[in-house]
């Protein structure tokens, strides 16, 4: 701790000390009343009221969060000083043996409304017992509702403790004396400063590890849709880390006018302070809105926070989305500054090492633009040999990233990234249309060993958004809702990472079809370009497939794809969700559903690209958007469409019939303990649709369940088990009107939700419903108790219709209600040859499937099958309906009554 730091601490404390007198008098009066038995806890109660009033006034009067945080820290400091002053009057013999220092955030002089107040109490080595004075100070702070982190040490023991505890060592770096003997604090400061000077590299290594671990906890992304403003990647803690590392090396704060001008430029320090101001504004208002220490920008708070910070809806983007876009851009700047600072600090600690003299590898001397790349290694990192030439010739920017794509182990030198960031304005239309630049970019995209990092850094410098302006419009944007984990641009990068994993063979067991497709493909460029551009529709006001196809086609051709590949990519990107929607919302036991999709696709290359797009997107977009049920549905749709494209309806029918035959044979083999006649009789009862859609093992389980129920004389039976984080339940019961609604209601009453259901009927009128059930929030189910509860409720509903509508279990913290989803009902008479397909879309809620199915039962229609698709707060339930078994509903009035009734159900829970 330097003399300069000590004088700064004294200056900061002087003002607060001047204001503490009146408060100290009030606290002393309260303490005297308590000692006289006239009150209890009065000092804490007075302090609580004063701090609450100050907090409200500060929130009202100061728009800038950093200033508000400083003002609130001053209030807390006044409170501590007042307590010390009052305590010193009561215990004068103890005051000279106790010094108080603010540490951590309190030491830096900034506190959010509900932050911890960290204090270091320093006692003289052989002084009196200071516990009475400590209690006098601490208990009112606790009674006032403040969270006080504190340690009691001698100067020597404090520094000894810091040697083995990096949290304490970091907190003490920002220590400043508040009260008590100057000599006692100076002894501590001198000892700490000696430790600091001898452990700079150790401290830097520890902070690097800490940052990496923190980023790993936040999924290595600063673009989570609900980020942590303090601990998340690109949050305040990253700024603190820069400040800590600088101060540990150079004694002073990085923005101190007297600090050495090292590691960050003046412009970068200004940018750092601007980022910090924004985050403090967000954090201060977040604490105030929550009324507690909460650091996560969850969806429910984003609209109110945006309003507090002065954001408004604009140009089709809500105020909350504008706030979050600003947050993500801010986080991106912090990432850039962190990268620059870390590299510069490493250089300083390394000095002139052999690593710094390493020659540029031969593989990087030439690229698609020719020989003599304008590159060199600077301290083992990629840099421009001539920055001036790079600024004049932006093609060098792309050559830098091409080199990194080949050798990501070398990393970028911050000076090179600064040149790129400063020169992106030179990326003009001529540069964007330069075929050499296109070759470099395409090679970087498709051949990068670490494409996610490559693209992120390209985005951080502004180069990616400048080269592809439509992509630039998606940077930092979110889809306001519970479905997506990441911002739009981060979703693209993560999807490309999945593609690279598949291409490298690392996901063969999980994605065998996609792996096979990429292995067969000679040119991988269409796959990478399609994924890069698959969210560009977000940049368009006209979100139609035709508009997206035109835009993507233009970009793909500019990037160097030939006419056929550009057409392929643009068509698939414009219809990127068609395969997923068909798999989730259509009955794939019907050849018509597959044939209709295959006819839309038209050729095998489109089918292959759509499959890969679907897999990569679903693996990333939501926390639970990829599961075993989705995998099975996409597999069946892909192979069915492949058969239709090869040979039309006949080939598809043959494939489905062959599948049904094999499933029946395999199921029969699993039922080897049955008598042959009994086995064949049961298998004859099952429909071709069942054999076309379920696995042999499932057929065997249905058979065993049915036989066991018959032997028991039971009218209904249920088998349930845990399977891949879901509950798989088979219901075997007498069919009746409203059965599906009753079963769906049982699931909701059990505290779960239906992921998928296959509703089928045997030849003799028995209903066989196969449910895939997930937890209410989509998380994997692990508790056997939930399985037992669901089994009991399903069995009761299967045996008899409940006398009253079930009461869905309400989930604490269910956030779906904070979103608005406009109800919609779509009727499609062409989607099925035998049924009308009705899609009911609205805000998801407990028991929605029950309510919809019950309404259809009241109308008197038969549900042939139901298909549930959930996207966060939005649910789309698709029903195949008939008026009576075998009769398709075509009457206009009948269809209108279905639409009105379902809209009423959707709106009643809106």
Q: What is the pLDDT of residues 714-755, one digit of tens each?
A: 989 999 999 888 899 999 999 988 999 999 999 999 989 888
Residue 287: per-residue pLDDT: 94
Q: Which of 717, 653, 707 is nearest to 679 (CA)?
A: 707
Between the alpha carbon of residue 366 and those of residues 387, 417, 560, the distances in Å are 18, 20, 20
Q: Which residues pair with 868 in a beta bridge?
A: 877
- Which residues of the chain, if any, have pLDDT below 70? 1-22, 218-222, 351-358, 809-814, 885, 909-910
Between the alpha carbon of residue 70 and those of residues 51, 58, 507, the distances in Å are 14, 10, 51
Render pLDDT for 309-332 as a digit per residue (tens, 0 to 9).
Answer: 999 998 778 899 999 999 999 999
Residue 910: per-residue pLDDT: 46
Instruction: Take residue 249 and report the two structure tokens written for it.
Output: 């090396």
What is the rounded distance in angstroms from the CA atom of residue 397 to the CA atom of residue 291? 48
Residue 909: per-residue pLDDT: 63
Q: Check: CB of residue 135 under 8 Å from CB of residue 99.
A: no
* DSSP track, 69-128: HHHHHHHHHHHHHHHHHHHHHH-HHHHTTEEEEE-HHHHHT---TT--EEEEEEE-TT--
**Residue recorded with tokens 């009035």:** 893
Q: Which of 610, 690, 696, 681 is nearest to 645 (CA)?
A: 610
Q: Where are the alpha helices (DSSP H) in 622-713?
A: 628-670, 676-685, 688-693, 696-712
Residue 778: per-residue pLDDT: 72
Residue 541: per-residue pLDDT: 87
Residue 354: per-residue pLDDT: 43
Residue 20: per-residue pLDDT: 57
Q: Is 53 exposed, middle or buried (0-12, 13-18, 19+ CB in 10 A)?
A: exposed
The contacts of residue 560 (CB under 8 Å, 6+ apart) are: 435, 438, 439, 442, 525
**Residue recorded with tokens 């107040």:** 117
Between the alpha carbon of residue 799 and those of residues 371, 469, 545, 712, the distances in Å are 78, 61, 48, 14
Residue 221: per-residue pLDDT: 61
Residue 633: per-residue pLDDT: 93
């Amino acid at each position: 701790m330097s003399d300069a730091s000590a004088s700064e601490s004294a200056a900061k404390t002087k003002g607060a000390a001047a204001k503490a007198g009146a408060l100290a008098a009030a606290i002393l009066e309260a303490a005297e009343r308590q000692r006289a038995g006239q009150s209890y806890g009065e000092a804490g109660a007075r302090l609580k009221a004063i701090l609450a009033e100050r907090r409200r006034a500060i929130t009202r009067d100061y728009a800038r969060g950093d200033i508000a945080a400083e003002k609130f820290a001053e209030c807390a400091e006044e409170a501590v000083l007042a307590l010390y002053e009052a305590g010193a009057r009561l215990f004068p013999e103890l005051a000279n043996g106790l010094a108080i220092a603010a540490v951590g955030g309190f030491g830096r002089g900034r506190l959010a409304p509900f932050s911890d107040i960290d204090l270091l109490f320093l006692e003289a080595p052989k002084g009196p017992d200071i516990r009475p004075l400590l209690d006098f100070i601490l208990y009112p702070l606790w009674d006032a509702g403040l969270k006080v982190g504190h340690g009691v040490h001698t100067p020597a023991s404090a520094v000894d403790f810091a040697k083995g505890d990096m949290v304490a060592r970091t907190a003490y770096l920002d220590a400043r004396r508040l009260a008590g003997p100057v000599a006692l604090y100076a002894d501590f400061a001198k000892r700490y400063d000696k430790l600091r000077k001898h452990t700079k590299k150790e401290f830097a290594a520890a902070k690097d590890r800490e940052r990496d671990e923190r980023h790993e906890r936040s999924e290595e992304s600063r673009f989570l849709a609900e980020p942590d403003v303090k601990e998340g990647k690109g949050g305040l803690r990253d700024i603190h880390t820069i400040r800590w590392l600088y101060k540990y090396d150079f004694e002073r704060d990085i923005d101190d006018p007297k600090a050495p001008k090292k590691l960050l430029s003046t412009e970068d320090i200004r940018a750092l302070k601007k980022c910090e101001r924004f985050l403090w504004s967000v954090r201060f208002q977040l604490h105030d809105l929550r009324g507690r220490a909460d650091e996560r920008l969850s969806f429910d708070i984003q609209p109110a926070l945006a309003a507090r910070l002065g954001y408004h809806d604009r140009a089709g983007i809500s105020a909350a989305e504008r706030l979050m876009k600003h947050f993500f851009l801010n986080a991106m700047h912090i990432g850039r500054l962190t990268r620059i600072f870390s590299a510069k600090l490493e250089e300083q600690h390394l000095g002139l090492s052999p690593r710094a003299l390493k020659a540029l590898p031969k593989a990087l001397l030439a690229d698609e633009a020719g020989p003599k790349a304008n590159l060199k290694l600077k301290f083992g990192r990629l840099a421009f040999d001539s920055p001036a030439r790079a600024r004049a010739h932006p093609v060098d920017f792309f050559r830098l990233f091409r080199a990194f794509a080949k050798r990501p182990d070398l990393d970028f030198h911050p000076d090179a990234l600064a040149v790129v960031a400063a020169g992106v304005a030179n990326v003009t239309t001529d540069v964007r249309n330069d075929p050499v630049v296109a070759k470099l970019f395409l090679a970087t995209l498709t051949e990068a060993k670490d494409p996610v990092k490559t693209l992120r850094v390209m985005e951080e410098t502004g180069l990616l958004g400048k080269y592809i302006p439509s992509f630039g419009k998606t940077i930092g944007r979110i889809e306001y809702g519970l479905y997506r984990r990441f911002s739009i641009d981060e979703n693209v990068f993560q999807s490309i990472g999945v593609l690279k994993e598949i291409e490298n063979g690392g996901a063969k067991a999980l994605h065998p079809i996609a792996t096979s497709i990429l292995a067969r493909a000679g040119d991988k460029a269409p796959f990478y370009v399609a994924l890069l551009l698959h969210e560009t529709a977000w940049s368009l006001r006209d979100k139609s497939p035709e508009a997206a196809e035109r835009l993507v086609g233009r970009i793909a051709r500019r990037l160097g794809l030939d006419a056929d590949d550009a057409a392929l990519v643009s068509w698939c990107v414009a219809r990127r969700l068609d395969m997923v929607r068909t798999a989730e919302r259509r009955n794939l036991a019907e050849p018509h559903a597959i044939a209709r999709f295959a006819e839309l696709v038209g050729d095998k290359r489109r089918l292959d690209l759509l499959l890969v797009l679907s897999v990569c997107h679903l693996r990333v977009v939501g926390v639970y958007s990829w599961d075993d049920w989705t995998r099975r549905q996409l597999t069946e749709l892909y192979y069915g469409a492949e058969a239709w494209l090869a040979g039309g309806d006949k080939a598809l029918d043959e494939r489905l019939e062959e599948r049904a035959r094999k499933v029946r044979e395999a199921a029969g083999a699993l039922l080897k303990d049955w008598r042959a006649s009994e086995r064949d009789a049961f298998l004859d009862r099952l429909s071709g649709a069942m054999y076309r859609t379920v696995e042999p093992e499932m057929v065997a389980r249905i058979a065993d369940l049915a036989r066991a129920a018959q032997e028991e004389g039971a009218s209904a039976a249920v088998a349930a088990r845990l399977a891949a984080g879901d509950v798989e339940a088979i219901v075997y019961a007498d069919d009746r009107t409203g059965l599906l609604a009753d079963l769906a209601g049982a699931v909701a009453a059990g505290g779960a939700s239906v992921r998928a259901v296959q509703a089928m009927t045997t030849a003799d009128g028995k209903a066989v419903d196969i449910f895939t059930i997930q937890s209410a929030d989509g998380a994997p189910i692990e508790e056997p108790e939930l399985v037992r509860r669901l089994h009991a409720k399903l069995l009761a509903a299967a045996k008899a219709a409940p006398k009253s509508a079930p009461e869905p279990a309400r989930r604490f913290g269910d956030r779906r209600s904070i979103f608005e989803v406009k109800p919609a009902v779509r009727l499609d008479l062409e989607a099925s040859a035998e049924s009308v397909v009705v899609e009911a879309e609205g805000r998801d809620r407990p028991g929605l499937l029950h309510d919809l199915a019950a309404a259809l039962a009241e109308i008197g229609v038969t549900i042939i099958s139901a298909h549930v698709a959930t996207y966060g707060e939005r649910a789309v339930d698709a029903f195949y309906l008939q008026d009576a078994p075998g009769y398709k509903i075509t009457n206009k009035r009948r269809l209108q009554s279905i639409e009105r009734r379902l809209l009423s159900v959707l709106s009643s829970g809106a």
